[in-house]
């Protein structure tokens, strides 16, 4: 299989399928049991570097560049092979993530145009144009930001056939594609700079970045983001972790893995981490993982061989013409 240079890879939560995005702006879907790889979609304008499977493994959500400036969220149905845009191709949407209960698809979008005046010159800019959004996947669903009255019964206690935002994933996810782009709602938070987004049954988590100066002389340098969590019960967002470079949530929504620089921390995904005096030391209580215990065996000659092959392949895949300007590229590799 010629998969190209892989820029994103995601395994389905059920079954043995994988989704691959490569440097050719292609979305590939592989069936490991059947030994098949199929082209699902391709953009003429950019790569799909964020891949998200639905809880039942029947759908893939991914950003799709419709032009050099606009990126929309798209859905691919594995069973039929059909694709459809979920958001209008007029903005810049990214980071799709499915709600574990299968009711919503979350994403980040740059579409809040609240201009900021410059203090030196009479200019306007949009440094805080992004917000987290959701789209209701079923036509009869409503955003959780304006919930109906529910009396005094405790939260997460189902009444009849009603199922809250934290319900179990349906055995087969139903997505009503007709009119889906009209079922988009913004989270009630301020616009800013947002990165990745993910969800547990009760919380929607995202990274929020500061607005640094280009030189950092104003006291703010480009650095780690904050990890914020939006509680679907009380409809409020709060900071969970002050410094985060990257985060992931386990498939069962139980564990939150946070990366800060070269350090990893595993936390309970259901609750805000408690701050303690000894939080910096690796332990089960703090969640910090002692990476110093890892040992890696390296065979230098085999590593050099792999490095040569990798550089050769990158030149081949990213050269501006497919015939390498007439150079016998295989012979070049054999010579070295």
pTM value is 0.86
What integer pLDDT is reported at residue 146 of this predicted model? 75
Tens of pLDDT, residues 7-17: 999 999 988 99
Sequence-distant (6+) residues with CB within 8 A of 289 are 263, 264, 265, 266, 282
Query: Highest-confidence range of 7-11, 140-144, 146-150, by mean pLDDT?
Result: 7-11
Token digits of residue 258: 């946070």
Rounded CA-CA distance 209/231 in Å is 20
Q: Is 134's pLDDT higher than 90?
A: yes
Q: What is the DSSP letter of 218?
A: T
Q: Is residue 192 within 8 Å of 130, Cβ to Cβ? A: yes
Q: Is 232's pLDDT higher than 90?
A: yes
Provide, rounded to the nearest whole percent, the portion of the chain with pLDDT above 90: 73
């Amino acid at each position: 299989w010629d998969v190209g240079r892989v820029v994103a890879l995601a395994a389905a939560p059920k079954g043995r399928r994988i989704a691959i995005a490569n440097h050719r702006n292609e979305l590939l879907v592989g069936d490991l049991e059947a030994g098949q790889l199929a082209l699902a979609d391709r953009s003429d304008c950019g790569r799909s570097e964020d891949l998200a499977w639905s809880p039942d493994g029947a759908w893939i959500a991914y950003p799709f560049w419709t032009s050099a400036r606009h990126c929309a969220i798209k859905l691919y149905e594995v069973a039929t092979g059909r694709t459809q845009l979920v958001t209008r191709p007029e903005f810049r949407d990214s980071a799709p993530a499915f709600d574990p209960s299968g009711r919503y698809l979350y994403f980040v979008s740059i579409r809040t145009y609240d201009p900021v005046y410059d203090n030196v010159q009479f200019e306007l800019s949009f440094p805080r144009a992004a917000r987290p959004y959701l789209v209701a996947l079923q036509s009869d669903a409503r955003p959780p930001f304006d919930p109906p009255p529910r009396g005094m019964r405790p939260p997460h206690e189902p009444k009849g056939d009603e199922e809250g935002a934290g319900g179990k994933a349906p055995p087969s996810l139903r997505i009503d594609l007709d009119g889906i782009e009209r079922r988009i709602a913004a989270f009630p938070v301020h616009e800013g700079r947002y990165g990745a987004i993910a969800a547990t049954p009760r919380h929607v988590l995202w990274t929020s970045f500061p607005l640094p100066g280009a030189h950092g002389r104003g006291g703010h340098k480009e650095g780690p983001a904050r990890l914020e969590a939006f509680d679907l019960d009380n409809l409020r967002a709060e900071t969970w972790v002050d410094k985060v470079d990257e985060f992931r949530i386990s498939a069962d929504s139980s564990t939150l893995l946070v990366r800060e620089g070269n350090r990893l921390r595993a936390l309970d995904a259901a609750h805000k981490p408690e701050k303690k005096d000894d939080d910096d030391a690796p332990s089960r209580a703090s969640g910090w993982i002692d990476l110093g215990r890892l040992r890696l065996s390296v065979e230098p000659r085999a590593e050099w061989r792999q490095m040569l092959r990798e550089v050769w392949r990158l030149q081949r895949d990213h050269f501006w013409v497919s015939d390498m300007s007439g150079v016998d590229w295989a012979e070049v590799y054999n010579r070295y």
